[in-house]
Amino acid sequence: MKSEAGGAARLGEVVEELLSEVAVETSPEPAPLFESLRGQGAVVTGGSSGIGRATAIALATGGVNVAVNYLDTGEESRAAASELGEALDQHGVEVLIRPADVRDPVQTAEFFAEAHERLGGLHILVNNAGVGADHALWRMSDEEWESVIDTNLSGAFYCIRAIAPYFRSQEFGKIVNVSSVHGLSSEFGLANYCSSKAGLIGLTRSAALELGASNVNVNAVAPGYIRTTRLTDRVPAEIMDRARERSALGRLGDPQDVVSVILFLCSELARHITGVVIPVDGGYLV
């Protein structure tokens, strides 16, 4: 009986050792989120405020070299860009911040060429630049339609086109397009904005298909109502209140809620994810 008990005990020890080895081999500890990003070069468009600003700072905090463009609309926009530059410089990374209008394909191409040289390479693109001009469609002017489509959709296309040669050459890259819940569900008075953000989702899927062979991941986030100065100033309080009530979580989001998903999609933890749209809306669309 003793020998049988001893044999069973020994067998149990062997099984535990084998299971332990299998667990180590098949379930490795995940690398820290920033481990695969440190030292890379990232472009964040429209990054001087809101989600773009928070994304640029988060990337720099993780050791990523960052280039940010902004639309120069006067002293306020230049001051915001200067303030962002000071925040990024604190992290000891290479930084490029300068005006460049994503609606202009020439300016866009020049900005990406400069960013590639200054940062020592490009590996990440966050297409965040976006504007809104809300009106009922029968009251919407040509300029209001065109400015939103040109910035939110054509601008993203110009940026992807500008960075694609670098990504294809090195056979690596991450693109995250900042769409919106309004690209998935329409609301009154947002015909231009909804069209641009829905188009951006289509562009995301097309780019994922065309760049996939070059090991480039292309995804989109679709934020709901996020507390930013620009949104708070532009959207009436009653609409913000309705958005909060409609959310399954009963709250508005913060820029960091979106940034966390962007960083995940830029990391190697998301290496097998491409062509998807992730709502970050607190259950607004549920």
Residue 70 known to be catalytic: no
d(Cα 55, Cα 57) in Å, to the nearest integer?
5
Q: At what angle do helices 155-170 and 105-119 cross, to 10 degrees?
A: 40
Q: Which helix (H) or strand (E) holds 169?
A: helix 155-170
Decide: 208 and 218 in contact? Cβ < 8 Å: yes
> Torsions phi, psi of 53, nearest 5?
-60, -45
Instruction: Name, in order, each residue with C-beta under 8 angstroms of 253's C-beta and a sequence gap of 6 or more.
Output: 223, 224, 225, 226, 227, 280, 281, 282
Instruction: Spell out the alpha helix ranges (H) of 40-104.
Output: 50-61, 75-89
Nearest to 45 by CA among 142, 181, 137, 157: 157
Which residue among the candidates 70, 193, 225, 284 is catalytic per the annotation? 193
Nearest to 94 by CA among 111, 62, 118, 129: 118
**C-alpha 249: how far from chain center:** 22
CA end-to-end span of the chain: 63
d(Cα 6, Cα 85) in Å, to the nearest integer?
69
Which residues are known to be catalytic?
Answer: 193
